[in-house]
C-alpha cells in the first residue's frame, strides 16, 4: 500500500497544480465568485476521480501530461455537483469536507454561480488541452457530458435521488440512482484515462466493468460510513441519510448484508481487471482503498 | 423587413427542430427533469442568439447544416442562465416568457438541475457535431465557454449584477456588467457563425465590434422596455429592476438620454458592418429589429 499512498499524494498535488493553472485567481474580479470556487475546490477533497483517470491512463501507457487536464476537468464537474447538491433546496447541508459548504460561506446565489461556472471551466479545459488531438478532445467532452448529464448521468441521478426521498424504493431502484448519480462520472474517469491511453475496445469494456463495480462500491461504503462513523471523522454531517429518510443499502438490507455486498463488488472490480493484460497494481490498490476506507 | 421576418420564422423553427433532436424527450425518466427542460426551452423565446449565429454564418457563406447545432447549443446556454437567474436566491422572478418560471412550476431543486444539464447538453451538442471538423468544435466550445463563464463572461456578469443591487454604480460599471452578463454570449453567437463561415481575422474583428454594440443595444432597449411597458406586453414582470433597486440606463441617465444611447449603439453596429465586404442586409435588419423592439 506504500506505493498507492505515494501515487495518491502525487496525483493530488499534480491535479491541484493543474486546477490552479486553470482557475481564475481568487483575487480577480468578481472576487466573491472566484473565492467561492477556490473554497470549494481546495478543501482537501480525496481526488478519487482524478486518481482514477491517471491510474487508468498510466495502465495503458499514457503520459501524465496528457491526463492531468482531463483529470482536473472531471474534478471540476464533481465539485460543481457537490456545491449544487448541498444547496438548501437539494440536500441542504452545512458541512462538506470538514468545513462550511459553499452556500453557507458565500450565500446561495454565489454558490449556484460558482457551480455553474465550474462546469463551464471543465469543458473549456478539455477543449483547450493541446496535449490531445482535437478528435480526442471532442470524444472526451462528449463522454464526460453524457456521464454528467441526462439520461443515465449524474444530474438525472440527482433528480431520481430527490424524488425517492421519503418513499420506499427497491434495491434495484437504489442501485440505478447510484449508478447515475455517482457511478457514471466514476466510469467516465476510468474510461477517459483508458481512451487517452489508446486502450482497445476489449480493454475499454473491461475498464468500464471494473469502474462500474468500483463506483457502486464507493457508494455502498459511503452508506456504511454514514451509519457507522461520527460527523467529525467524516468531515460531513453523519446520519443525514436517515434524517432525510433516504433509502440506503443499510436501511434496505441491514449493515451485515451491506458489508457482504461491498465484498462482492470489490471482487467483481478485481475480477474485471483480470481481463486486462497490463500491470493493474495501482487499480487493484484503489479497489482495496475504497473497500477499506474510513472517511 | 418582410425578408427579416421570414428569416426569423425560419430560424426559430429550424432551431426548435434541432433542439428537439438534441433533448431527451419529455416522457423519458426522470420525466420531471426533462419536462422542466422542455418547459423552459419551448416557451416562445425570441431565439435572437441562434438567429445571430445563422445570420452571421450565412453572411460568410456557411450552410445552415453547419450552423444549426451551434445555434441550438448557444440557446441552451442562454436558457440555462435564465432558469438560474430567475431562482429565489437570484432575481426571484415568477414569470418568464409569459408563463411561470421553471422553479415556480417544477420546484427549485429541479430548476437548478434543469439549468445544470442544459449547460451540459450545450457542450455535448457541439462536441458531437460531425458537420464540423473537430478542430473547429474544440475552438467553438472554448469560445462559448469563455463567453458563458468567468472572468468577463455571463456568470461573472451575473455575479457583478447581484453585488451591484441596492448600491450606486457608475455608467461604466453598468456597461461592464451588461457586456459580461448578456453581451459576451451575443458576441460569441455572432463570432461562432463567422468562424464556421471561415471569416478572415479582419472580418472577425468587425463582427465582434458589431455584436458588442448590438448586445449593449439589446440591454439598453431591455432597460427601456422595463420602465415603459406593462407586464402583459413583456411576458415577464415589468418594473422589477426598480423594485430590486437595480441600476439601469434610465435610472442612471433618464429615459431620453437612454433613447439617444440606443440610437448611437445602432449606428455603431451598422457602421461596424461597413467593414465587411459581404451582403449584410439581414444583420442590419437585426440591428433595426432590436432598436425598435417592443418586448
Residues 6+ apart with CB under 8 A from A93: A85, A86, A101, A236, A237, A240
Under an 8 A CB cutoff, do B112 and A84 touch? yes
Torsion of CA B86, B92, B96, B99, to 10 degrees: 120
User: For the residues of B147-187, what is the DSSP string, one character each?
Assistant: HHSSSSSHHHHHHHHHHHTTS---HHHHHHHHIIIIIHHHH
A142 vs chain B: nearest CA distance in angstroms? 5
Helix (H, G, I), strand (E, B) or coil at B90: coil
> Is cis: bond before A23, omega within 30 of 0?
no
B221 confidence band (pLDDT: 50, 70, 90): very high
Helix (H, G, I), strand (E, B) or coil at A206: helix
Instruction: Tell me what pLDDT residue A244 has.
Output: 66
Q: Which of chain A's residues have a Cβ under 8 Å away from the Cβ of B192?
A: none
C-alpha grid cell, residue B46? 425570441
A209 vs chain B: nearest CA distance in angstroms? 24
Q: Are B120 and A145 in contact (CB under 8 A)?
A: yes
Instruction: Tell me what pLDDT residue B243 has.
Output: 64
Residues 6+ apart with CB under 8 A from B174: B164, B247, B248, B249, B252
Torsion of CA A221, A223, A225, A229, to 10 degrees: -170
Under an 8 A CB cutoff, do B28 and A151 touch? yes
Which is it for the CA torsion A234, A237, A242, A248, positive or negative?
A: negative
pLDDT greater than 80 at residue B19: yes
User: For the residues of B219-252, what is the DSSP string, one character each?
Assistant: HHHHHHHHHHS-HHHHTS-TTHHHHTT---HHHH
B284 lies within 8 A of chain A by CB:
no
Question: Span B12-34, mean pLDDT?
Answer: 97
Q: Which of chain A's residues have a Cβ under 8 Å away from the Cβ of B70?
A: none
B227 confidence band (pLDDT: 50, 70, 90): confident
Helix (H, G, I), strand (E, B) or coil at B197: coil
From residue A12, alpha-carbon distances to A2, A5, A9, A18, B266 in Å are 15, 10, 5, 10, 52
Instruction: Tell me what pLDDT residue A243 has.
Output: 64
Residues 6+ apart with CB under 8 A from A38: A23, A26
Side-chain half-sphere of B69: how many Cα atoms within 13 Å?
22
* Strand partners of residue B99: B96
From residue A90, alpha-carbon distances to A41, A53, A242, B210 in Å are 20, 29, 15, 42
Instruction: Tell me what pLDDT residue A17 has.
Output: 97
Instruction: Tell me what pLDDT residue B231 has.
Output: 65
Round to whole Å and give the CA distance between B261 and B250.
10
C-alpha grid cell, residue A70? 482531463
Partner-chain residue, chosen from A127, A145, A159, that has the shortest CB–CB distance to B32: A159
B45 confidence band (pLDDT: 50, 70, 90): confident
Partner-chain residue, chosen from B112, B113, B149, that has the shortest CB–CB distance to A120: B149
A264 vs chain B: nearest CA distance in angstroms? 29
pLDDT greater than 70 at residue B265: yes
Closest-approach residue (CA) in chain A for B180 = A30
Round to whole Å and give the CA distance between A119 and B186.
20
Round to whole Å and give the CA distance between B35 and A250.
33
Under an 8 A CB cutoff, do B120 and A163 touch? no
pLDDT greater than 80 at residue B262: yes
Round to whole Å and give the CA distance between B279 and B281.
6
Instruction: Tell me what pLDDT residue B228 has.
Output: 84
Round to whole Å and give the CA distance between B137 and A258.
45
Q: Are B227 and B248 in contact (CB under 8 A)?
A: yes
Under an 8 A CB cutoff, do A138 and B127 touch? yes
Q: Which of chain A's residues have a Cβ under 8 Å away from the Cβ of B29?
A: 151, 156, 160
Residue A256, Cβ density class (10 Å: 0-12 exposed, 13-18 middle, ≥19 buried): exposed
pLDDT, tens digit, 9 for 90 and up, residues B59-73: 999 999 999 999 999
Instruction: Tell me what pLDDT residue B234 has.
Output: 62
- Looking at per-residue pLDDT, the higher value among A267 and B236 belongs to A267
pLDDT greater than 60 at residue B40: yes
Instruction: Tell me what pLDDT residue A165 has.
Output: 86
Of A189, A193, A76, A52, the closest CA to residue A132 belongs to A193
B107 lies within 8 A of chain A by CB:
yes
Lowest mean pLDDT among A5-14, B49-58, B221-230: B221-230
Averaged pLDDT score across all residues of chain B:
94
| Phi, psi angles (nearest 5°) of residue B99 | -145, 180
Round to whole Å and give the CA distance between A19 and A71.
9
Closest-approach residue (CA) in chain A for B113 = A155
Q: Are A74 and A122 in contact (CB under 8 A)?
A: yes
Terminal-to-terminal C-alpha distance of chain B: 17
pLDDT, tens digit, 9 for 90 and up, residues B126-178: 999 999 999 999 999 999 999 999 999 999 999 999 999 888 999 999 999 99
B contact test, residue of A104, A139, A155, A166 with most B CBs within 10 A: A155
Within chain B, strands assigned E span 95-96, 99-100
A contact test, residue of B36, B110, B114, B145 with most A CBs within 10 A: B145
C-alpha grid cell, residue B176? 461592464
pLDDT greater than 90 at residue B47: yes
Query: A266-278 burial by CB neighbour count: b if 16+ within 10 A, else e?
Result: bebbbebbeebee
Q: Please give the average pLDDT of every successive group of 10 residues along chain A, which has 295 residues.
A: 86 97 97 98 93 98 98 98 97 91 98 98 98 98 98 97 91 96 97 98 98 97 87 65 78 94 97 96 96 87
Partner-chain residue, chosen from A107, A123, A160, that has the shortest CB–CB distance to B30: A160
Under an 8 A CB cutoff, do B124 and A113 touch? no
Round to whole Å and give the CA distance between A117 and B289.
32
Helix (H, G, I), strand (E, B) or coil at A134: helix
| Total H helices, total E strands in chain A | 15, 2
| Phi, psi angles (nearest 5°) of residue A134 | -70, -25
pLDDT greater than 90 at residue B241: no
From residue B235, alpha-carbon distances to A196, B97, B107, B294, B295 in Å are 48, 5, 20, 11, 8
Round to whole Å and give the CA distance between B102 and B110.
8
Q: Which of chain B's residues have a Cβ under 8 Å away from the Cβ of A158?
A: 113
Under an 8 A CB cutoff, do A117 and B90 touch? no
Taking a contact as any Cβ pair under 8 Å apart, which residues of chain B between 115 and 134 contact chain A?
115-117, 119-121, 123-124, 127-128, 133-134
Instruction: Tell me what pLDDT residue B167 has.
Output: 87
Prediction ipTM score: 0.96
Helix (H, G, I), strand (E, B) or coil at A287: helix
Amino acid at each position: 500500500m506504500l506505493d498507492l499512498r505515494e501515487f495518491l499524494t502525487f496525483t493530488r498535488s499534480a491535479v491541484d497544480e493543474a486546477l490552479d493553472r486553470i482557475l481564475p485567481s481568487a483575487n480577480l474580479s468578481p472576487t466573491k465568485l472566484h473565492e467561492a470556487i477556490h473554497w470549494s475546490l481546495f478543501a482537501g477533497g480525496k481526488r478519487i476521480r482524478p486518481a482514477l483517470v491517471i491510474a487508468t491512463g498510466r495502465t495503458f501507457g499514457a503520459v501524465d501530461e496528457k491526463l492531468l487536464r482531463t483529470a482536473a476537468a472531471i474534478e471540476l464537474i464533481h465539485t460543481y455537483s457537490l456545491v449544487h447538491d448541498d444547496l438548501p433546496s437539494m440536500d441542504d447541508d452545512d458541512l462538506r469536507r470538514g468545513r462550511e459548504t459553499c452556500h453557507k460561506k458565500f450565500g446561495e446565489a454565489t454558490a449556484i454561480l460558482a457551480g455553474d461556472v465550474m462546469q463551464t471551466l471543465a469543458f473549456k479545459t478539455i477543449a483547450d488541452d493541446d496535449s490531445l488531438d482535437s478528435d480526442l478532445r471532442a470524444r472526451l467532452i462528449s463522454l464526460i457530458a453524457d456521464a454528467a448529464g441526462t439520461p443515465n448521468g449524474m444530474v438525472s441521478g440527482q433528480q431520481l435521488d430527490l424524488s425517492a426521498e421519503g418513499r420506499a424504493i427497491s434495491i434495484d431502484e437504489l442501485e440505478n440512482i447510484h449508478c447515475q448519480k455517482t457511478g457514471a462520472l466514476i466510469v467516465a474517469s476510468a474510461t477517459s484515462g483508458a481512451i487517452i491511453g489508446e486502450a482497445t475496445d476489449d480493454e475499454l469494456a473491461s475498464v468500464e466493468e471494473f469502474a462500474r463495480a468500483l463506483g457502486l462500491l464507493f457508494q455502498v461504503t459511503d452508506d456504511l460510513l454514514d451509519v457507522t462513523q461520527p460527523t467529525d471523522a467524516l468531515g460531513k454531517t453523519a446520519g443525514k441519510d436517515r434524517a432525510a429518510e433516504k433509502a440506503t443499502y443499510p436501511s434496505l438490507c441491514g449493515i451485515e448484508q451491506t458489508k457482504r455486498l461491498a465484498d462482492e463488488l470489490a471482487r467483481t472490480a478485481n475480477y474485471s481487471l483480470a481481463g486486462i493484460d497490463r500491470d493493474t497494481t495501482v487499480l487493484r490498490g484503489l479497489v482495496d482503498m475504497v473497500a477499506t476506507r474510513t472517511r
